[in-house]
Structure 1
């Protein structure tokens, strides 16, 4: 390309490049790049001119570092840097691109397209030594960064990607940096994506920040992040997600923070985080999740979720957590365990009881384990259910030992009053000891203990039936109490 072929706008860029100076075509700093199609020739630059500068390079002038630094340009044609090795900074901010830049397989120093309007970006397997900045961009087509290697950070703050409309499974993702390797952080606060965000298999050295972001793929997968590895946290406070959030197999050593998030995928799974390992999972102050939640086989140090946040359908088989917050009565959390789609899960009750015991609330832990046994009873044959019901009513499966004392006291009073008013007859006159209705009733109820009152006397009529009732009830209470004590010792 000869320099005589350059337009006045292109000459400004050409002359500024060796010194790395900025060229600003904007008439007003508040103007939007989305209006760039109407910009005139005075601010139009051909993409081939920019590529020629970057590929040819320049000799630094006056000790300056060459670089491309343009604002507010209308860039026509395709910026094709496929497989290129560029040593100069690329800063094309607040620009309008006629065609999507092609950076596939290129090796670049730094790329900043912030505040620009693009029909898409193809940069799969790109290598960036410093950072890739797409903050505040308006990108109507897909952003392809699969397999990218970015030593610094990826910046997407306030960017809008894709066009609003119905999403379908299998449709190309609007934002892709799956299997990417990002050295520091992904900064994507207030990001809006119409379509799927695909980051499965990515490795991020620092944190991913989706605070206040909107991931919109109704009826499809809004965030596909399987086997994601994050160095610190995945933040998504106040996230609005329409569609499935899939974090299966991810590793997040710090926080998975979804506080105040609105997750919605009616008729499907709204949050799938099975086989995950995370330090802390925060779902604080989230409205009720619209759609199912799948946390099977995951491991969390802390799970913060209120009972009201859980949806009607959950899958928590194999879920392990060391602590559960906020601390609320066990009666508020127990109904959630009934929502498990697989039915009765003993481990879910044991895990909840362990969390309460870790928090020092032994009474709540006993309440959970009692609920577990009652739930288990519903799965047993009828005869076993009857025996379990007797254990429950009498001593609460050993978790309510004072019930046995209450039953015994009530029966003792009944027997004492009945036999005190109508003492049983002596079997052998003159050989029986003095009759005592209290100890006679005790002899009937507690066959292990003998006070010599039961054998010498024989009640008649309905008093005889009362004695049978006392004997049978005493055996039941003794047996169930022993079973409950044995179960308690086993737990200890």
Structure 2
């Protein structure tokens, strides 16, 4: 038979049940009352509504104990410790000041628990089933333990928890609503939402402040089409973990959040197709951020303006957002390394516009897939180290590095870039502090655009295969490089444009010269190998339709620097012949004549030979056609050779031509020789003048 106690009378509680009596007795001693049967099936709190009255404890009894002024047992601290009870009625401690520990483990609650604006010690609800827990503006001078707890929702808005907040293994079920509302929450210790924690509905941590670690390891947050975790401006003074099977259906929001330690999403799966899987614009991470080793995101990863103090790792990650941005990290700052390698695969655009990486940026073995669009958009990217896109790197879509700056190397060795009919690589105004390698099996289907790029060291396309038929395959217009290599099996199906480029040394191979090559305004100091002019002239003439003087003059200047003056003259002669070929037919006549006589001044010896030939022919002719003296009694002795020389050589007077006269055919021959003499003499003078001027 239940007994009526003075305690119950004072509080108007009526008769106490046996379980309530035991609880009151144990309270003074701080002892635990365990009402379980020992049968796991019968003790399951989810079946607590069916428990017998022997396990029934009224919520008002618990509240009365916590608000009482008991006389503690000697050497003991009063506390409510109850396990396996069916708690009926509403447990309301709103605005109350509770000085004792409250531990209600594996209990079943008929109505919500309210701790709004209360001041309490530790509250332990491990394994219990609760319709709802409201603890808004609560001050907990201890821990809040909700391990394995089941509730429709928990509200901790602006709550202050001095110790630990533990949701390990808990299940919060409020589909379409808010499962956990902890906006403005302050936790003085760690916050655990791990070990199987499951929230159906939104989890809110807006402006929350976690002094130690925040763990979602192994958690599952479910709010399809909505926000699974809202943690804008969250502050975690140590590390935040979302790994070991962490899965979120819905958006994860960390806008403006600050994590002092590491942010780890290793092996996590984020699912929000067509939306943002992770929205962490302006995120600050004081350590490293790991999204690796099985990390998979369906939806956009946003890190706009984020700042990572150490490394950012997407090693082995898979980002899926076809037709959109797989990773949007414009203005990202990583004060260390960034790794997107070893199985990294992105379906959708990777954006790193205006991003800054102080260490290396690695896409080794990565695959970027955005056919017909931009696979990597990294205009104005700054990498204060090397950038690696090699060893199996494959991009379907455009790679953009316009205005990017790579302090050390840019490596595309063995890479494959595919964007048919469009630009495979757009890197105009790119700056590379050391070398840029596109060799060793490098292949590009689409245009490689390096317009105005500056490569301090070597720009190598040795062994590369460029495919962009009937269009430009390689555009190096205005490029500046320490050296340019187009050899060792280099092939280009499409135009190669080197116009306006400036390189220290040009390494090429006659076997690798493309059919369509533009060398206009190309400037180089050295050529390797040192081929003879006859081979280099074929190089200059590759599909050249329009006449350009500079390529010939540049090649001639190179041969002069090497001391090969004859080769230089051969090149300049070819220049004039090319110019002549570009003129109308009637304008070519004098060119042919000048070429035949003195080789445009680069073969002045030819005119002398012509003069000697005419001198010999004239001497023979005039030996058989003696002229009549003008004055029979006053003339020099006639000499055919001197007479011919006097006719041929302008200005010079040997006294022969003026003393004799011819009639008929001989007179016509004399006239022709005078004209030819002037022509050849003029050509010789012009040729000698050009040689002297050049020297």
Distance in 2 (CA, whole Å) between partners of 1:378 and 1:66 is 70
Structure 1 runs not aligned, ≥5 long: 12-16, 24-41, 59-64
Structure 2 runs not aligned, ≥5 long: 1-165, 171-192, 199-211, 219-242, 272-276, 321-325
Distance in 2 (CA, whole Å) between partners of 1:178 and 1:10 is 41
Partner of 2:563: 360
The answer to whether residue 281 in structure 2 is matched with residue 82 in structure 1 is yes
Distance 1:76 1:388, change over 3 A: closer
Partner of 2:380: 179
Partner of 1:146: 353
Deviation at 1:10, TM superposition (A): 8.8
Distance 1:345 1:43, change over 3 A: same
Partner of 1:434: 637
Deviation at 1:413, TM superposition (A): 2.1
Distance in 1 (CA, whole Å) between partners of 2:545 and 2:584 is 19
- Per-residue CA deviation, residues 282-314 of structure 1 (Å, 9 max, x unaligned), is 212354422223333333233333455444444
Distance in 2 (CA, whole Å) between partners of 1:10 and 1:329 is 77
Deviation at 1:481, TM superposition (A): 1.2
Partner of 2:614: 411
The answer to whether residue 362 in structure 2 is matched with residue 161 in structure 1 is no
Distance in 2 (CA, whole Å) between partners of 1:57 and 1:414 is 101
Partner of 1:104: 304
Deviation at 1:379, TM superposition (A): 5.1
- Per-residue CA deviation, residues 65-119 of structure 1 (Å, 9 max, x unaligned), is 867484xx35244344332211232334431404254333221121222233332
The answer to whether residue 328 in structure 2 is matched with residue 122 in structure 1 is yes
The answer to whether the Cα contact below 8 Å between 2:263 and 2:285 also exists between their aligned partners in 1 is no
Determine helix, strand or coil for the equivalent of 2:483.
strand
Partner of 1:30: none
Deviation at 1:479, TM superposition (A): 0.8
Determine helix, strand or coil for the equivalent of 2:402.
coil
- Per-residue CA deviation, residues 146-165 of structure 1 (Å, 9 max, x unaligned), is 221111110111111116x5
Determine helix, strand or coil for the equivalent of 1:264.
strand
Distance in 1 (CA, whole Å) between partners of 2:449 and 2:656 is 72
Partner of 1:35: none
The answer to whether the Cα contact below 8 Å between 2:537 and 2:571 also exists between their aligned partners in 1 is yes
Partner of 2:245: 44
Distance in 2 (CA, whole Å) between partners of 1:476 and 1:10 is 103
Partner of 1:199: 401
- State which of 204, 211, 214 in structure 1 corresponds to 2:416: 214
Partner of 2:671: 468
Single out whichever of 242-251 and 341-350 deviates more from structure 2: 341-350
Aligned residues: 454
TM-score normalised according to structure 1 size: 0.81
Partner of 1:3: 168
Distance in 2 (CA, whole Å) between partners of 1:242 and 1:178 is 21
- Per-residue CA deviation, residues 359-407 of structure 1 (Å, 9 max, x unaligned), is 3221122122222223333455666533332221111121101111221
State how 1:378-393 maps to structure 2 within 5 Å.
378=581, 384-393=587-596
Determine helix, strand or coil for the equivalent of 1:195.
strand
Single out whichever of 373-382 and 105-114 deviates more from structure 2: 373-382
- State which of 428, 443, 446 in structure 2 corresponds to 1:240: 443
Distance in 1 (CA, whole Å) between partners of 2:597 and 2:253 is 89
Distance 1:451 1:341, change over 3 A: closer
Deviation at 1:215, TM superposition (A): 1.0
Partner of 2:338: 132
Deviation at 1:52, TM superposition (A): 11
Distance in 2 (CA, whole Å) between partners of 1:52 and 1:66 is 17
Deviation at 1:356, TM superposition (A): 2.2
The answer to whether the Cα contact below 8 Å between 1:68 and 1:88 also exists between their aligned partners in 2 is no
Distance in 2 (CA, whole Å) between partners of 1:219 and 1:404 is 54
Distance in 2 (CA, whole Å) between partners of 1:443 and 1:118 is 92
Determine helix, strand or coil for the equivalent of 1:99.
strand
Distance 1:416 1:299, change over 3 A: same
Determine helix, strand or coil for the equivalent of 2:414.
coil
Distance 1:194 1:9, change over 3 A: farther
The answer to whether the Cα contact below 8 Å between 1:9 and 1:44 also exists between their aligned partners in 2 is no
Q: Give the aligned CA root-mean-square deviation in angstroms.
A: 3.5
- Between Structure 1 and Structure 2, which shows a larger proportion of helix residues? 1
The answer to whether the Cα contact below 8 Å between 1:234 and 1:256 also exists between their aligned partners in 2 is yes
Partner of 1:62: none
Partner of 2:690: 487
Distance 1:110 1:43, change over 3 A: closer
Determine helix, strand or coil for the equivalent of 1:147.
coil
The answer to whether the Cα contact below 8 Å between 1:316 and 1:340 also exists between their aligned partners in 2 is no
Distance 1:56 1:459, change over 3 A: closer
Please say which structure displays the higher CA radius of gyration: 2
Higher relative contact order (CA 8 A, sep 6+): 1
Deviation at 1:43, TM superposition (A): 6.3
The answer to whether the Cα contact below 8 Å between 2:412 and 2:437 also exists between their aligned partners in 1 is yes
Distance in 2 (CA, whole Å) between partners of 1:56 and 1:328 is 62
The answer to whether the Cα contact below 8 Å between 1:323 and 1:359 also exists between their aligned partners in 2 is no
The answer to whether the Cα contact below 8 Å between 1:10 and 1:45 also exists between their aligned partners in 2 is no
Distance 1:10 1:468, change over 3 A: farther
Distance in 1 (CA, whole Å) between partners of 2:601 and 2:476 is 37
Distance in 2 (CA, whole Å) between partners of 1:403 and 1:374 is 17
Distance in 1 (CA, whole Å) between partners of 2:604 and 2:659 is 33
